[in-house]
Amino acid sequence: MPELPEVETVRRGLTPAMEGTRIERLELRRGNLRFPFPENFEDDVNGRTIVSLGRRAKYLLIDLDSGKTIISHLGMSGSFRIEEGRQKTTPGEFHHERSKDEKHDHAIFHLEGSEGPRRVIYNDPRRFGFMDIAERTELQNNPFLFGLGPEPTGNELSAAYLAERFAGKAQPLKGALLDQKNIAGLGNIYVCEALWRSHLMPTNAAGTLVTKTGKPKEALNLLVSSIRDVIADAIKAGGSSLRDHIQTDGSLGYFQHSFSVYDREGDPCRTPGCGGTVSRIVQAGRSTFYCPVCQK
């Protein structure tokens, strides 16, 4: 599944192409993706102006002038393609063309803006993505968004906040970080990277980072800093681009080449002077990559 940096990269790529445009017509080429499209979806969006594009956790949010918001999740293989005249790309730092097999084009936004017509096409070979629509004022109650924790890039995420969530918890640290009620949008890849940067074992109990009086230990302060840094680095690089994920212009981000621990089983640890070797274990059905020498 795409993680927060991938979705943020998509949002930034779509914004100049969609923001301020009018949806002349939403063309749905099938009745469902992972779930059925919302009832009267086309009627709700046709003729509306796109006010802004946002993101919450791993969800793309398209705000309309009607007060409603389209909620989009990319699933495992979903992506957006922008077509304007003969141009089928948007500005991007990386240029690796992907397949534009139209049989996987499931939703097409026919847009009209100040620079003329364009199409934004949602393509999803595996159809694990989905779209929903809700009143903007009720987003916090939407089943997909309800109960999400703070963003890993926002000021709400702090060592003091996590100390409250982790106090007394025997749950493995990795599992606690993947819990979307604790932190929204943080996924397997960047949890592994953040734990490596902060030299913490993913199997440690989350409560070990909290003092008996409920205060965050220094290791928890370092973990929060590492989370912020790894997410910022990934967004800057354009996301991880693992397997099917691509940016809006069909290009791949290069952050995968900068992974220090994820998917590097058997490689030397990159911590200076460590001398350890990256290992892999499975936690809750997901691969965890870590260094058994410098992560304690």
Positions marked active-site: 2-3, 58, 286
- What phi, psi does 4 have (nearest 5°)? -50, -50
**Where does residue 140 rank: exposed (0-12), middle (13-18), buried (19+ CB within 10 A)?**
exposed
Write the CA distances from 278 to 181, 223, 292, 296, integer angstroms. 29, 19, 7, 14
Count other C-beta atoms under 10 Å from residue 273's C-beta.
6
Half-sphere exposure of 137 (CA within 13 A, CB side): 3
Pairing status of strand 68-73 against strand 130-135? antiparallel
Query: Which DSSP symbol is given to 151?
Result: -
Question: Across 65-203, where does the E strand assignment appear?
Answer: 68-73, 79-83, 105-113, 116-123, 130-135
| Alpha-carbon gap, residue 215 to 247, rounded angstroms | 40
| Alpha-carbon gap, residue 296 to 13, rounded angstroms | 39
| Alpha-carbon gap, residue 221 to 145, rounded angstroms | 27
Closest CA to 13 of 243, 235, 242, 256: 235
Tokens of 296: 């304690």
**Adjacent-strand bridge partners of 73:** 130
